[in-house]
Amino acid sequence: MRNWITLLGLSLVTLGSAQSEWIRYRVTAPTPAAAQRLSDSSLALFSDDVVVGDTDVIVGPGEAWKLISLGLPFRWISALPDPRNWSATHLGTEADDYQHQYLRYDAIIAQYETWRAQNPDLVTRQAIGTSWNGRTIWAYRFFGSANGNRIVKHSVVVEAGVHAREWISPAVGMYLFDKLINSFWTRNILTARMPAGTAFYFIPVINPDGYEYCWTNDRFWRKNRRNNGSSFGVDLNRNFSKGWGGPGSSGSSNSETYRGPSAFSEPETQALRDFMDTIPPVKAFLDLHSYGQLVLWAWGYTENLAPGDPWLRATGNAMKQGIFANGGKSYTAGPCSTTLYLASGVSPDYAYDRYNAAAYTIELRDTGQFGFVLPEDQILPTQIEAWGGFQELVARMLMR
């Protein structure tokens, strides 16, 4: 016992003092209890989430004790770029180059504003809420009233930027919005498949505080920026009401998957909830995340098959094919809980339950080489493949 403690102390000192870098470690949790311990720790995750087996974590300077105090085996995988003060080396203001650069929140909204100014008959916007730190959360609407039909019959909602560090998500949202406008003007074959009377509502970034915090303080931030007292942040994708509090969410405020004090406790999730209740029936709902290259549908909160699974599956597979057919990568399609992991209180479960919407999560590139810090030369290819998947969703959503 004594030896063991000495060893632990020694490795603590070694790790603690030698580490001036950011490191990706692989932690092995042999049991569900061990996985829960890891899940409740405040270590940032490199992997999608904690599983029984191997999970990659991000360990910064001075954080080695968190890793060691888990008492689980771990090994070094790779060094990571310093996540602090990302904005010192990355500008993020080139509003016209969203296909090759990640943009700051203001630059993202500026780009949507440019589209709105150029297409006053097609694009409108609405403030749907205010984040903890006082940022306006916007929704942009695209509605192509091409055939003189000015009546919106149903809605497609695209939600981006839920998880702060998943920067490819807002970038893909922008591309889909741009493509919708473009295909309207060119009246190409794609718009022909678009059901008339469909309005598209895009939330450019639902979690602007977290997103900006990534630029200024911590590139690997995931949650919003609620002040929990001894820690910050609620995982917005555990804060929706369907299945809230269930497996794959944590009640510990410092956890990466902290579900919040109650369902819809956050201004960001409230904004989306209230907004969706005011628009015409939500027929399709797409939540953009990274990474993993997955097309996911209900349920997240239980491993039971959702009612209507055959249709969800057929459409999920069509989306996967559409992604691949548009020159893209191979994605895996399946229900969230059994394909990725159990996750309770996620927005697609809510949209499926409340509106019977064709609700999907796409986990964009990659499969783990770069993870959340997807290189900028992969922005455009990821956007293009996502457009292939999105068209399938839109084409199929009314055929149920």
163 or 225, CB closer to Zn ion? 163
Q: Which contiguous run of DSSP H or E holds residue 192?
A: helix 189-192
Number of residues that make up the chain: 400
Closest CA to 137 of 120, 162, 118: 162
166 or 353, CB closer to ligand 0X9? 166
Segment near Zn ion (CB under 5 A); pick from 132-140, 250-258, 263-271, 283-291:
283-291
178 or 349, CB closer to ligand 0X9? 349
Q: Three-class SS of residue 91? A: coil
In the chain, what is the straight-line distance between the N-terminal and C-terminal CA atoms, in Å?
Answer: 63
300 binds, among ligand 0X9, Zn ion, none (CB under 5 to 8 A by kind): ligand 0X9
320 binds Zn ion (CB under 5 A): no
Closest CA to 177 of 202, 150, 146, 205: 202
Find the binder of Zn ion among 104, 141, 154, 163 (CB under 5 A).
Answer: 163
What is the rounded CA–CA span in Å between residue 358 and residue 28?
Answer: 36
Catalytic residue among 166, 363, 385, 392: 363
SS (H, E, C) 325-345: HCCCCCCEEEEHHHHCCCCCC
238 binds Zn ion (CB under 5 A): no
159 binds, among ligand 0X9, Zn ion, none (CB under 5 to 8 A by kind): none
Nearest-10 crossing angle of helices 105-118, 168-186:
10
363 carries an active-site annotation: yes
What is the rounded CA–CA span in Å between residue 266 and residue 314?
Answer: 34
348 binds, among ligand 0X9, Zn ion, none (CB under 5 to 8 A by kind): ligand 0X9
Question: CB of residue 166 vs Zn ion: minimum separation in angstroms?
Answer: 5
49 binds, among Zn ion, ligand 0X9, none (CB under 5 to 8 A by kind): ligand 0X9
User: Would you say 123 and 115 are in contact if contact means Cβ atoms under 8 Å apart?
Assistant: yes
User: Given the rule CB under 6 A, which residues bind ligand 0X9?
Assistant: 48-49, 163, 166, 237, 289, 296, 298, 300, 336, 340, 343, 346, 348-349, 361, 363
Name 258's bridge partners.
250
Segment near Zn ion (CB under 5 A); pick from 38-46, 89-97, 149-157, 158-166:
158-166
Angle made by CA atoms 313, 269, 127, in degrees to the nearest 5: 110
Binding site for Zn ion (CB under 5 A): 163, 166, 289
Catalytic residues: 363
